[in-house]
């Protein structure tokens, strides 16, 4: 990938990802409403919510949360810039982990019970999700001999043929990243758990708006990582991403939230059985790509 293509990809991500992310969340809410026999909000409702939050009176549980939420948004956006400019997957993974550290600090800074419990559960979520993302980067390196997204995209044989287990593990982690049942332990978009907003309980106004926009950015990043598995077959990749997201919405409406212990146990078992075993098999027999 040349310099102009890299810059173009980064700029497109910065400007288009929030728009696409907001639209995805709007469609998500409409699908959820239909599955629950409700009319639901308009597709553009997430944008209306952000506009309302941005114009609210400024009120802080702790003024330092402005710094932490800004850092969270900037680092999430930075992760996407690296990914869409064809950069290093490992750097994307580490930047995402650092970004969530800032979100944790914002929640702890509030010094409120729900916020602190939500922060602790968010930390658990990071501990569960990061190993899968690291295994994803390692798996791509083993089958393409590169950590760089540009090199992975240049392959003609889809990596899904060599990394089906890693893909399934990432699909499970997607449930956690999208804050959906049964793994919405840190926060939820729906009022069906005791913490409700959890890690963002004490955030409001512009600080909460920044966290929501960062979540839109991160959703696009995770979906793009899923698309990488089908780099040699883009149409199939788009179809797979759409189907996976629909399944996430369906599971959110079918399954109740599990405890944090069950979340850790379930996702680590999935990681070991599918992702680690997949990497081990490639290490012994090699990949298809």
Residue 287 has pLDDT above 70, yes or no: no
Three-class SS of residue 265? helix
Phi, psi of 126 (to 5 degrees): -65, -40
pLDDT at 186: 73
DSSP letter (8 states) at residue 256: P
Cα separation, 211 vs 132, whole angstroms: 23
Cα separation, 181 vs 256, whole angstroms: 6
pLDDT at 160: 93
Q: Tokens at residue 175, please?
A: 């449930």
Instruction: Band the pLDDT of 289: cuts 50, 70, 90.
Output: low
pLDDT at 63: 82
CA trace torsion 174, 177, 183, 189 (10° rounding): -120
Phi, psi of 100 (to 5 degrees): -70, -25
Cα 145 to chain center, whole Å? 25
Residue 220 has pLDDT above 70, yes or no: yes
10-19 pLDDT per residue, tens = 999 999 999 9
65-83 pLDDT per residue, tens = 889 999 999 999 999 999 9
Share of the chain above pLDDT 90, in %: 60
pLDDT at 268: 92
pLDDT at 190: 60
Biggest alpha carbon distance in the chain? 60
Calculate mean pLDDT across residues 22-31.
Answer: 93
pLDDT at 277: 94
91-131 pLDDT per residue, tens = 999 999 999 999 999 888 888 788 888 888 888 989 999 99
Three-class SS of residue 121? helix
What angle separates helix 89-109 from helix 65-84, to the nearest 10 degrees?
170
Calculate mean pLDDT across residues 153-161.
Answer: 89
Burial of 55 (0-12, 13-18, 19+ CB in 10 A): exposed
Residue 198 has pLDDT above 80, yes or no: no
Mean pLDDT lowest among 48-62, 87-101, 133-147, 205-219: 48-62
Distances from the Cα of 60 to the Cαs of 64, 114, 157, 188, 208, in angstroms?
8, 16, 51, 21, 11
Q: Tokens at residue 137, please?
A: 């980067």
How many other CB atoms are found less than 10 A from the CB of residue 285?
8
Cα separation, 126 vs 132, whole angstroms: 10
H-assigned helices in 57-185: 65-84, 89-109, 113-144, 149-153, 164-177
Q: Which residues of 188-207 are buried (b: 16+ CB within 10 A; e: fewer)?
A: bbbeebebebbbbbbbbbbb
Instruction: Band the pLDDT of 196: cuts 50, 70, 90.
Output: low
| pTM higher than 0.75 | yes
Which range has the top average pLDDT, 188-192, 268-272, 284-288? 268-272
Instruction: Band the pLDDT of 288: cuts 50, 70, 90.
Output: low
pLDDT at 237: 93
pLDDT at 164: 94
Summary mean pLDDT of the chain: 89
pLDDT at 133: 94
Cα separation, 65 vs 23, whole angstroms: 27
């Amino acid at each position: 990938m040349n310099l102009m293509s890299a810059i173009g990809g980064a700029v497109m991500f910065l400007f288009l990802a929030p728009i696409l992310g907001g639209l995805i969340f709007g469609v998500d809410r409409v699908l959820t409403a239909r599955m629950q026999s409700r009319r639901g909000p308009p597709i553009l409702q997430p944008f209306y919510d952000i506009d309302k939050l941005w114009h609210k009176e400024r009120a802080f549980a702790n003024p330092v949360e402005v710094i932490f939420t800004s850092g969270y948004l900037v680092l999430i956006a930075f992760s996407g810039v690296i990914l869409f400019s064809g950069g290093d997957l490992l750097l994307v993974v580490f930047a995402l982990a650092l970004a969530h550290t800032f979100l944790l600090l914002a929640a702890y800074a509030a010094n409120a019970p729900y916020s602190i419990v939500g922060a602790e559960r968010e930390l658990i979520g990071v501990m569960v999700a990061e190993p899968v993302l690291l295994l994803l980067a390692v798996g791509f390196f083993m089958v393409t001999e590169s950590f760089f997204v540009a090199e992975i995209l240049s392959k003609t044989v889809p990596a899904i043929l060599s990394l089906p287990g890693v893909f399934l593990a990432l699909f499970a982690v997607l449930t956690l990243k999208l804050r959906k049942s049964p793994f919405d332990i840190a926060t939820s978009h729906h009022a069906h758990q005791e913490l409700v907003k959890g890690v963002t309980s004490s955030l409001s106004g512009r600080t909460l708006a920044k966290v929501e926009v960062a979540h839109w950015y991160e959703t696009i990043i995770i979906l793009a990582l899923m698309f990488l598995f089908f780099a040699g077959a883009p149409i199939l990749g788009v179809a797979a991403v759409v189907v996976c997201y629909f399944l996430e919405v369906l599971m959110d409406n079918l399954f109740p939230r599990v405890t944090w212990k069950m979340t850790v146990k379930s996702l680590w078992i999935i990681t070991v059985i599918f992702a680690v075993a997949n990497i081990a098999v490639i290490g012994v027999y090699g990949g298809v790509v």
